[in-house]
Homo-oligomer: A and B are copies of this chain.
Amino acid sequence: MAMAAVRGYGAARHVATISPRAAVAGRSFYTSRRVHMPAVKAFNKDEPAAPVLKTSIPGPKASEAIKELDAVFETRSINMIADYTQSAGNYIADPDGNVLLDVYAQIASIPVGYNNSELRKIASTPEMIDAIVNRPALGNFPSHNWAELLKSGVLKVAPKGLDNVYTAMAGSDANEIAYKAAFMYRRQQERGGPEVDFTAQELETVMNNQSPGSAQLSILSFKTSFHGRLFGCLSTTRSKPIHKLDIPAFDWPQATFPQLKYPLEQHVEENAKAEQASLDEVEHLIKTWHLPPAAVVVEPIQSEGGDNHASPAFFQKLRALTTKHNILLIVDEVQTGVGATGKFWAHDHWNLQEPPDMVTFSKKAQTAGYYYRSKDLRPNKPYRQFNTWMGDPSKVLLFRGIIDEIERHDLVNHTAKVGDYLYGKLESLAGKYPEHFQNLRGKGQGTFIAFDNPKRDAFLAKAKTFGINIGGSGAEAVRLRPMLIFQEHHADILIEALEKVAKAL
């Protein structure tokens, strides 16, 4: 940690900010002025007090790094080259000395800040070293303390009603193995229970990828959803053509996700109708689709697809509908989970009577997997849900450290409060610049906030020139995905920059 810099707390200090004029011209020079910083301590003491801009982005060193990398690795999707050794807390640094306030956080996957000191300690414990150098095949040779590790970490934050876990590598495979569990469960029920064995015909046909051995079933997902990009989960992903073009897909059904209108309080009846229409479509598809759905998969907030929300009532009815038709409900919390919505799991906002059957997770958890509702969702025989690694204890250790850090600082409640503060400020901005902050959404959902901007891509690019790293989603959305250590004084910096962006566009 060579971060020299001013510290992120104190009353008033010098802050380097970029001149908007220079930014417009694509050049960068700095003015130094006194700004008032809130008298609160940043969670990470190495954070600068504000963004630092020294060059355009990419600067000369970053450009050189991209050129070198392009010879051997994909570079066309690079947003910025980072220097993680110089990044701290909410701030991402680059090799040219630029330091941006990061409200994108590695596509919503950094929970407690860059170079979090507690995680750095955990990363160098004997337990972590052991986990790194002796990676087990967890299904065959789990460590004697694997249960204890799960129970003191991943399972400590298990969603209500779900007490089992299957660990995995990332969000995509977490969803796929949840789908596999759903297919095996459904076929087991059709067969007459876990004790009924496979038929000779099933054993034979499956080796030819034919039914009845290969199930003629489906997973029902929603339009504009995102569930990953492996072949199975990609068949349920419906956000953008670029994710799907040229990849063979299963002929699985999709229902319209309610497209709510904002502000919500002005469209109550309309929105309720949209939600009911969506539920009716789900039920119709369940009853009629030629490959019957074994499960419905849904994100609490469609994240990649543009931050599309639905009400708790919608999800309660969706749970009731799936129960009624004996279809499993998989809640994909890969992006929404681990605190950012002001609850540990976004579906905690729904107050469900009956929990989801499975909840998938990854990103901020740094590990991945699915929680499931009881042992009856385990396949009836071993080696049906299996692979070499089945997850990674080193990442499970890291998640335990993240959970401890979240508890120590009460970061979920913290994020709920900071989210309210941020939302209020954004509402004011939206009042002032309505064309730039359309359909503001995420009220009461922590910092999981978004708005639409018709010049979205220019908006994101411009934000960098004012010291903010920010991401988009869907066609026109700007999505805010700060870390859980995002505070009110960061919100102030963000709001100030966003206003500059709006003025500059």
Contact B72 A163 (CB under 8 A): yes
Number of chain copies forming the complex: 2
* A140 to B217 Cα, complex, angstroms: 36
Residue among A85, A134, A252, A363 with most chain B CB within 10 A:
A134
B-side contacts of A116, CB under 8 Å: 133
Residue among A120, A247, A248 with most chain B CB within 10 A:
A248
* A245 to B180 Cα, complex, angstroms: 10
* A237 to B366 Cα, complex, angstroms: 29
A382 to chain B, nearest CB (A): 4
Contact A169 B170 (CB under 8 A): yes
* A84 to B382 Cα, complex, angstroms: 24
Partner of A129, one of B120, B143, B155, B252: B120
B-side contacts of A249, CB under 8 Å: 206, 209-210, 214
B-side contacts of A173, CB under 8 Å: 169-170, 172-173, 230
- Residue of B whose beta carbon sits closest to that of A254: B208
A467 to chain B, nearest CB (A): 16
* A106 to B246 Cα, complex, angstroms: 36
A479 to chain B, nearest CB (A): 14
Proximity string of chain A (95-108) to chain B, C-beta cutoff 8 Å, 1 when within and 0 when not: 10000000000110
B-side contacts of A180, CB under 8 Å: 229, 247
Take A139-B77, A184-B246, A387-B172 as given contacts and tell me if A231 and B232 are in contact as well, using a CB distance cutoff of 8 Å: yes
A76 to chain B, nearest CB (A): 4
Take A61-B144, A144-B95, A363-B388 as given contacts and tell me if A150 and B244 are in contact as well, using a CB distance cutoff of 8 Å: no
A residues contacting the other copy or chain, number (CB 8 A): 125
Take A73-B165, A107-B137 as given contacts and tell me if A83 and B143 are in contact as well, using a CB distance cutoff of 8 Å: yes
B-side contacts of A62, CB under 8 Å: 144
* A72 to B141 Cα, complex, angstroms: 16
* A121 to B256 Cα, complex, angstroms: 53
Question: A398: CB under 8 A from chain B?
Answer: yes
Question: A202: CB under 8 A from chain B?
Answer: yes
* A141 to B114 Cα, complex, angstroms: 13
* A68 to B193 Cα, complex, angstroms: 26
Contact B94 A144 (CB under 8 A): yes
Contact A68 B218 (CB under 8 A): no
B-side contacts of A79, CB under 8 Å: 140-141
Contact B245 A106 (CB under 8 A): no
* A65 to B382 Cα, complex, angstroms: 18
Question: A241: CB under 8 A from chain B?
Answer: yes
Partner of A136, one of B84, B137, B155, B176: B84
A74 to chain B, nearest CB (A): 6
B-side contacts of A147, CB under 8 Å: 65, 68-69, 71-73
Contact B169 A84 (CB under 8 A): no
Question: A151: CB under 8 A from chain B?
Answer: yes
Give the residues from 132 to 160 in chain A that come closer than 8 angstroms, CB to CB, to chain B: 132-137, 139-148, 150-151, 155
Question: A262: CB under 8 A from chain B?
Answer: no
Query: Apart from A68-B147, A209-B235, A213-B241, what are 12 other A-B pairs with CB-CB below 8 Å?
Result: A73-B165, A81-B141, A81-B144, A83-B144, A84-B143, A106-B388, A180-B247, A183-B247, A184-B246, A187-B246, A202-B241, A231-B235
A-B contacts, 18 of them at CB < 8 A, read: A65-B147, A71-B163, A81-B143, A81-B144, A82-B144, A84-B136, A106-B135, A106-B137, A110-B135, A114-B134, A115-B130, A119-B133, A124-B129, A173-B230, A198-B245, A209-B249, A231-B231, A363-B388
